[in-house]
Amino acid sequence: MKRISFVILLLFSTVAIAQQSTGTTDAPGRWSADKANAWYKKQPFLVGANYAPASAINQLEMFQAETFDPQMIDKELAMAESIGMNTMRVFLHDLLWQQDAEGFKKRLSQFLDICKKHKIRPMLVLFDSCWDPLPKLGKQHEPVPGIHNSGWVQSPGADALSDVSQYPRLEAYVKGVVSAFKNDDRILMWDMWNEPDNANDNSYGQNHTIKTELPKQRKIEIVTNLLPQVFQWVRSVSPSQPLTSGVWIFTGDHDWGNPEKWTPMERVQFNNSDVITFHQYASADELEKIIPTLQKYGRPVICTEYMARGANSKFQTHLPIAKKHKVGMINWGFVAGKTQTFLPWDSWQKPYVNGREPAVWFHEVFRTDGTPIDPQEVAAIKAATGVKAN
């Protein structure tokens, strides 16, 4: 029965995507470009980080009752405020809603209060295709020594993603959490799905020794068909905040500037997003090329992931370019902690064992003790956000 249901779902969703199969098309309920641009004109130059407190290895540990840490969040967001950051990108999880919907809403509201105290309006992410495909509630495991993001979990996990009988639960989570905060001016916007076509090839996927990920093409097909529904679930409750899902690959001859070359997933993202968002872990020259490519679609543009020192993506080089074009910039990571994203992606193949650190830290702004990894980076952030240097 589940297989039959999945086939039916696939057929209906494929028809919906086919209706948007050429060019740029506004999906049902999408904000007009004029409305999106009017909203964006009211925003400051958006600068922030993808945020989890140093005490949390993943989204579950950040928000579960036993490990929710408002004191640390308050301390760290005060650091963000001190350098002029005014937004954070924060990941939620469907299992938090399943576990304790009312408690989750209460803790999320408490988090938003702390954000407001520090003049930060976060972007909230509903789903995520990255890292461990087998999330579990309860106590989370300790970080695996020497490995980048060794405990981050996908939402929904592989079991829920491949089982259509769980989709009503996912719909209830999406509608429930967005309904609770749909008119809340503490929230900047909603991100439907982080890197929806990421198959985790080098961690849990096809190139790794232990493969717990769904087969790559199957996963991408499922999410490509589910993502338009997620947009519609959210739009059905009429949130006041804009919606997005960010495109994230810019390599080789791939061209975001030519709709005929968009992947099916990118077509869903571009045609449903009120605000265009993207990820860019590459040089400043590449950023200069990407920005006009995306701005030609006439909508606000925000970079929701950047800053990997080893990939030549840096605060000093990228923030001045983005500010010139009024493209918001949200880097990966804030304070080094249990996510261990100061380690590079290839630590999955070459772990940093015995306490060894990379010569150049990959992500993060601050060390665990609150000192900047590089004072010149903090100076660059302050310059971009208008905070006077000490």
The mean predicted confidence, pLDDT, of the chain is 93
For the stretch 271-317, pLDDT in tens is: 999 999 999 999 999 999 999 999 999 999 999 999 999 999 999 99
Quote the pLDDT of residue 6.
46
Segment 103-152, tens digit of pLDDT: 999 999 999 999 999 999 999 999 999 999 999 999 999 999 999 999 99
**Environment class of 383 (CB within 10 Å of its CB; exposed 0-12, middle 13-18, buried 19+):** middle
Structural domain total, the chain: 1
Candidates 187, 304, 279, 267; CA nearest to 234 is 187
Instruction: Check which CATH number belongs to the domain holding 41 and give it.
Output: 3.20.20.80
**208 vs 51, which has greater pLDDT?**
51
In a domain, 17, yes or no: no
Q: Across residues 155-168, what is the average pLDDT?
A: 98
Supply the range of the domain harboring residue 208.
Answer: 32-385
198-212, 261-275, 337-351: least confidently modelled range: 198-212
- The answer to whether 82 and 387 have CB atoms below 8 angstroms apart is yes
Whole-number percent of the chain with pLDDT over 70: 93
Asked if the model's pLDDT at residue 195 lies above 70, the reply is yes
Q: Evaluate whether 112 touches 187 at the Cβ level (below 8 Å).
A: yes
- Does residue 252 lie within any of the structural domains? yes
Tell me the pairing of strands 243-244 and 87-91: unpaired
| Domain-embedded: residue 90 | yes
Q: Tell me the HSE value of 368 on the side-chain side, using a 13 A CA sphere.
A: 9
Neighbour tally for 153: CB within 10 Å: 23
Q: What local confidence, expressed as pLDDT, does residue 253 receive? A: 54
Query: Is residue 11, in this structure, part of any structural domain at all?
Result: no
CB 381 within 8 A of CB 83: yes
Answer yes or no: is 124 within a domain.
Answer: yes
pLDDT tens-digit readout, 349-359 = 999 998 888 99
> Coil, strand or helix: which one is 277?
strand
Number of H helices, E strands in the chain: 12, 8
C-alpha to C-alpha distance for 164 and 12, rounded to whole angstroms: 13
What is the mean predicted confidence (pLDDT) over 206-225? 94
Give the predicted TM-score (pTM) of the model. Answer: 0.94
pLDDT digits (tens, 9 = 90+) for 55-112: 999 999 999 999 999 999 999 999 999 999 999 999 999 999 999 999 999 999 999 9
**Pairing relationship of beta strands 301-305 and 189-194 according to DSSP bridges:** unpaired
Least confident of 20-24, 319-323, 325-329: 20-24
5 domain residue, yes or no:
no
Give the pLDDT of residue 255: 81
Q: Does a structural domain hold residue 306?
A: yes
Question: What's the pLDDT at 15?
Answer: 41
Q: What is the pLDDT of residue 12?
A: 44
Question: Residues 360-372: pLDDT tens digits?
Answer: 999 999 999 999 9
What average pLDDT does the segment 37-62 reach?
Answer: 98
Predicted confidence (pLDDT) at residue 377 exceeds the cutoff of 90: yes
Go through 253-270 and write b for each residue having 16 or more CB atoms within 10 A of its CB, e for each that does not. eeebeebeebebbbbbbb
Secondary structure element (H or E) that encloses residue 320, with its range: helix 315-325
